[in-house]
Structure 1
Amino acid sequence: MYRVRLWSVRHARRLRSLYELFSRLAPLMRPVARVLGVDRTAAVLRPLERHAKGFLFDCRMCGQCVLSATGMACPMNCAKEMRNGPCGGVRPDGHCEVRPEMRCAWVEATAGTKRIAPDHKAHPTPLLPAVDQRRRGQSTWIQVIHGHKEPAFQPPVAHDSTREAEESALEAACRSGRFVVTVEIAPPDSADPSVLLARAERFRGLVDAMNVTDGAGGNCHMSSVAASAILAHAGFNPVYQVACRDRNRIAIQGDILGAAALGVKNILCLTGDDVSQGDHPQAKPVFDLDAVSLLHVARGMVDRGEFASGRKLESAPRLFIGATCNPFVPPFVDRIANLEKKVVAGACFIQTQFCFDLPLLEAFMDGVRARGLHRRAHILVGVGTLSSAKALRWMGAHVPGVHVPEAVLQRIGSATDQKAEAARVCLETIEAIRGIEGVAGIHLMGHRNEEALADIIRRAGLPARTGGGAAGGGFPGLPGPRG
């Protein structure tokens, strides 16, 4: 079955031509369908469709077939069921983060789409809506017979700049044109907020915002929305990371509203790592949305003031919305198009995965500038450090999407003081990034390595700022922090 699926991608252009012929001829069956009735016609077509498409494409019968738009590669074969991929965890050989024996379904989709339209210079695959769970198992052939087109992504929500909204400190920093600095903080394994606040305090006056991870790596911690609210109450400027792995669209929208009500002004939309990577591999992943469809939902809440269902909000949240990208894993060239999908869907700022490979970043930014994406979203490049070459090698092998060149590992590993050498590599990377046109700033990461990261910010000569810990803050309608 898997070999036939790969064959279908290799012959995507011919199969697309056959589909177009079928879509032209299928409406001729409409009189027969009227006589039999929709339900009876569908009952006849469903098993035929399941077997034919199952054999050729390993079809999962989602009821919203998009094969002709995804290079004859069924996106439901993605382990995360992403409708807009690939994710940032593709392995160096192009295989799936979750199922290493299988080639990434979205690497296949991109390759097939290029075979269908070799000169296509925009998105290798179009923006697609999240799966409508009500239609699973239904026939799409009956839809073609009745002249219905394949599902298409709704037009992106236009950003309404006329609406009055208070800028977050991160948005103000991005719009100012100066070099932006953000940092990532892991929520604690504790119900005591003092641990979180102690980590954040190290960065007061050093950063424009602090990302709060949402079950990073599939590991359980204090919820990102609660930790973000705690930081906002303490006068910090949190970025609430929202991962699609653990909640459906109902829960996610409720959390976004709750975060905004508690003073959080920035969110970062993520698909999320698979649960198999974390400390609860027995858990059931959700992946009701992916990062692109989540961006679209969040923009609808902010700009149109409505839920994904179309129901109006009494009061729309005011949020600065971001997403991620990973220039350092396959498919390298098509990562730019994947970034463009996120910008079109509504991302205003972008944070990348760890950068240890400057040539890859420079090549990526060449493509970004060629498409003018740096003028449509603020790009913050991920940097960071760990204490040894062994720790970096482990991260490169076990953390999805992290790429550490062997030359970097050897340099740090041969140093007498590996921790100091790793910090020097990070400082040199920051200095080089500051010279790349189109980069708006940096995003520092390093699991529970706050002291080293704060020291790097100081040593990098980056000016003081207030967004990471301005005085005041607090939940709306509640007293501000003491002391």
Structure 2
Amino acid sequence: MYSVRLWSVRHARRLKNLYALFSRFAPLAAPVARTLGVERTASILRPLEQQAKGFLFDCRMCGQCVLSATGMACPMNCAKEMRNGPCGGVRPDGHCEVKPGMRCVWIEATDGTKQISADHKAHPTPLLPAVDQRKRGSSTWIQVIHGGKDPAFQPPIREKTTPEAEESPLETACRSGRFVVTVEIAPPDSADPSVLLARAERFRGLVDAMNITDGAGGNCHMSSVAASAILAHAGFNPVYQVACRDRNRIAIQGDILGAAALGVKNILCLTGDDVSQGDHPQAKPVFDLDAVSLLHVARGMVDRGEFVSGRKLESPPRLFIGASCNPFVPPFTDRIANLEKKIVAGARFIQTQFCFDLPLLQAFMAEVRARDLHRQARIIIGVGTLSSAKALRWMGTHVPGVHIPEAVLQRIGNAADQKAEAMQVCLETIGAIRGVEGVAGIHLMGHKNDETLVELIRRAG
């Protein structure tokens, strides 16, 4: 079946034309369907649809078929069930982070989209909503017969402007146009907030904001929403990271409201890492949303003042909303389509994965500038270092989405003082990044490496 699925992607244009023909003539059967009754007609079509689409696409019968928008690659075959991919953890060979033996479904979707349209970059795929769980197992052919359109959500019509006095310091810094500096902090494995506050204190006055990770790598720590609230109460400016892996849309919206009520003003919307590489591999991943649909949910709460269900909020949150991007793993410059989706869905700042490969960054930023995306969202590039080539090689091998060129590893490995050389490489990278048009700042990362990051910030000026 997998080989047939790949065949369907290679012949996406013909299959798209066939679907267009079906969509054109299927409504002619509507009078018959009404005579038989919708349920009876659907019961006849369902097994036929399941057999045909199962054979061609490994269809999972989600009831919201989007094949015509995803290059004839069914997104439900994604291990994270992402409707707007790819995630940032694609392996260097283009295979799935979760299922190494399977090619990333969203790389297949990119290839299929290119088959359908040579000018695919000028026509980005629509923003696809999260699956409506009520429709799983139902027929989409009956929807086509009754004139239903492919599901797609529209971003908020107008963006609510936050009064300048209520902006977060990060939003103010981004709007100012100056070079922005953020740092990532993992919450502690402790119920004592003093550990977290001591780490944050090292960066006071050195950064514009501090990202609080949400179970990064599938590992359990103090909750991101609680840690962010602790820092906000202490006068810091946290970025509350929200991963879709562990909570459904009900829990996530509740946490967003809670974070805003506790003084948090920035959030970063993430799909989330695979649980199998973390310290709880036996856990069940949720992935009710992906990063793009989460952005849409958050923007709806902020701009329209309503839950994704449509129910009105008594008092909407005021949040500066961001997302992540990884230009350093496949499909490389084709990731620009996913970045554009995130910006259209509502991201106003973007933080990337670690940058160790400047040519890849420059190629990606050329695409960003070509689409004028750097004017719609501030692009903040991830940087950082570890103490040895061995530690960096381990990170490049075991942390999804981290790409470190062999030349960088050899340079550090051949140095007499590897820690100093790694620091120098990072400083040179920061200097080069500052010269790339469209880059708005840097985001420093390094697990339990706070002293080195503080030194990096000071030495880089």
TM surpasses 0.5: yes
In structure 1, the partner of 2:57 is 57
Q: Return the offset for 1:159.
A: 1.1
Q: Which residue of 1 aligns with 2:457?
A: 457
Q: Residue 32 of structure 1: CA displacement?
A: 1.4
Q: 1:48 — aligned with what?
A: 48
Q: Distance in 2 between matches of 1:8 and 1:245?
A: 29
Structure 2 match to 1:19 = 19
Query: How do 1:219-258 residues align onto structure 2 when only pairs under 5 Å count?
Result: 219-258=219-258
Name the residue aligned to 1:439: 439
**SS in structure 1 opposite 2:120?**
coil
Distance 1:295 1:123, change over 3 A: farther
Given that 1:113 and 1:124 are in contact with CA atoms closer than 8 Å, whether structure 2 keeps it comes out as: no
Aligned to 2:270: 270
Give 1:362 shift.
0.7
Aligned to 1:373: 373
Deviation of 1:162 (Å): 7.2
| Secondary structure of 1:254's aligned partner | helix
Equivalent pair of 2:156/2:304 in contact (CA under 8 Å) = no
TM-score, scaled relative to structure 2: 0.99
Equivalent pair of 2:238/2:264 in contact (CA under 8 Å): yes
1 or 2, which has the higher helix percentage?
2
Structure 1 residue identity aligned to 2:284: K
Structure 2 counterpart of 1:398 = 398
> Who is 1:473 aligned against?
none
- Deviations, residues 237-276 of structure 1 (Å, cap 9, x unaligned): 0000000000000000000000000000000000000111
> Would you say the 8 A contact 1:165–1:318 is kept in 2?
no
Q: Does 1:389 align with 2:389?
A: yes
SS of residue in 2 equivalent to 1:239: strand
For 2:161, give the aligned amino acid.
S
**Aligned residue for 1:207?**
207
SS in 2 for 1:126: coil
| Per-residue Cα deviation, 1:96-138 (whole angstroms, up to 9, x for no partner) | 0100100100100111011111123335432111110100000
1:25-424 matches, cutoff 5 A: 25-161=25-161, 166-424=166-424
Cα 1:358–1:164 shift into 2, 3 Å: closer
How far off is 1:163 after superposition?
6.1
Contact preservation (8 Å) 1:80, 1:287: yes
What amino acid sits opposite 2:93 in the alignment? D
Output the TM-score relative to the length of structure 1.
0.94
How many angstroms does 1:329 deviate by?
0.6
Paired letter, 1:146: H
Deviation at 1:28, TM superposition (A): 1.6
Following superposition, the deviation at residue 176 of structure 1 comes to 1.1
Q: Secondary structure at the match of 1:121?
A: helix
CA contact (8 A) 2:155 2:346 kept: no
- Secondary structure at the counterpart of residue 91 of structure 1: coil
Q: Structure 2: which 5+ residue stretches go unaligned?
A: none
Q: What SS does structure 1 have at the residue aligned with 2:181?
A: strand
Is it true that 1:4 corresponds to 2:4 in the alignment?
A: yes
Over aligned residue pairs, what C-alpha RMSD do you find?
A: 1.0
| Distance (whole Å) between structure 1 residues aligned to residue 430 and residue 120 of structure 2 | 35
**CA offsets 1:64-115 (integer angstroms, 9 cap, x no match):** 0011111110000000000000001111111101001001001001110111
Unaligned segments of structure 1, at least 5 residues: 462-483
Query: 1:382 touches 1:442 (CA, 8 Å); kept in 2?
Result: yes
Quick one: which amino acid aligns to residue 202 of structure 2? R
The SS at the match of 2:122 is coil
Specify the SS of the correspondent of 2:352: strand
Distance in 2 separating the partners of 1:195 and 1:83: 38
Distance 1:165 1:59, change over 3 A: farther
The higher relative CO (CA closer than 8 Å, separation ≥ 6) is in 1
1:154 CA drift (Å): 2.1
1:479 aligned residue: none
The more displaced of 124-133 and 211-220 is: 124-133
Deviation, 1:177, is 1.2
CA distance in 2, matches of 1:161, 1:187: 31
Aligned residue type for 1:213 = T
Name the structure 2 match of 1:468.
none
* Letter of the structure 2 residue corresponding to residue 407 of structure 1: A
Task: Give the number of aligned pairs.
Answer: 461
- Encode CA deviations 1:133-180: one digit per residue, 9 max, x unaligned: 100000000001111111112244421227676000000111111110
CA distance in 1, matches of 2:127, 2:56: 23
String of CA shifts for 1:273-303, please: whole Å, max 9, x gaps.
Answer: 0111111111000000000000011001111
Cα separation, partners in 2 of 1:246 and 1:123, compared to 1, 3 Å? farther
